[in-house]
Chain A
Amino acid sequence: MLDWLAMVLLLAGAFFFLAGTVGLLRFPDVYSRLHALAKADNLGLGCVLMGLSLQAESLVTALKLLLVWPLVLAASAGVGFAIARRARALGIQPWRKGEP
């Protein structure tokens, strides 16, 4: 039962990483790519870590895996904001519907 749940979570995590990467490749500008990276990859990472911690050998290993999530979350939210602010300061205009 736990193994099945872990497998579902790992597959879901892989799917969100894939979707985030597809977004990175297909979205038109720096701002929308940041959306894809921050949101999809964090959800993917959360699923992967949950799946892995279900299969961990001890409680403390599971805690260690789960600890990775808030740390990466804080880093990627902060970095996303910093890149977006810098892009704006450099005068990069966001892509608008109808442009190539």
Chain B
Amino acid sequence: MIRIFALRALLFAGLWWILAEGRTDGWPLCVVATAAAMWASTRLWFPAPKPIRLAGLPGFLCYFLWNSIRGGVQVAHMALRGRTSLQPALIELAVTLPPGGARVLMVNALSLMPGTLGVDLHETGLRLHVLDDRLPIEAEVRALEAAITTLFGKQP
């Protein structure tokens, strides 16, 4: 517990240092800002029952970066070709991720992945809007799901 809070305080102080562009003469304000951020984080960001594994982070970031580039290029291409290139649909998929942080991350990340947009998240499933239902959407979603599973570590 102490370790989690120490890490957070270090993170917030680091963010402040970056925002202040490396100047250290305003350090009293840094202390105040860090304390305020700590207070807000205890209200909003509870220690998760299943935190992410730091070791899984680089792999996930690479996956995410690569697929945001693919998603951006694909949608730019469709935009330049106009609406004749679209074949939109709403689809329902089951989610296998546990409720909580993992699912929230998934539905948010889907908006940046190629061809998909999260529309709704409920107990058992996920509703997606897809730009072109001829694309292998389910494979993409399962790949993202696998990447998030790796990020959070094996389920107990």
Contact = CB atoms under 8 A, between A and B. Distances in A.
Contacts of A88: 119-120, 127
Interface string B57-75: 0000000000011011111
B74 to A, nearest CB: 8
Interface size class, chain A? 35 or more
B56 interface: no
A20 B78 CA distance: 10
Contacts of A19: 75-77, 79-80
Contacts of B107: 81
A23 B18 contact: no
Given A22-B79, A58-B22, A67-B15, A32 B112 contact: no
A64 B90 CA distance: 38
Given A31-B129, A80-B117, A85-B119, A39 B72 contact: yes
Given A43-B69, A64-B18, A20 B82 contact: no
Given A19-B76, A81-B107, A88-B127, A64 B87 contact: no
Contact of B112 (A36, A73, A85, A95): A73
A97 B133 CA distance: 11
Contact of B75 (A23, A73, A84, A85): A23
B87 A97 contact: yes
A94 B108 contact: no
Given A22-B79, A42-B72, A64-B18, A31 B112 contact: no
15 contacts: A19-B79, A20-B79, A22-B79, A27-B79, A28-B83, A32-B83, A32-B129, A34-B117, A35-B129, A40-B76, A40-B79, A63-B18, A77-B112, A85-B119, A95-B88
Cβ-closest 9 pairs across A and B: A43-B72, A23-B79, A19-B76, A60-B22, A77-B108, A80-B111, A31-B129, A39-B71, A39-B75
Interface of A: 15-16, 19-20, 22-23, 26-29, 31-32, 34-36, 38-40, 42-44, 46, 58-61, 63-64, 67, 73-74, 76-78, 80-81, 84-85, 88, 94-97
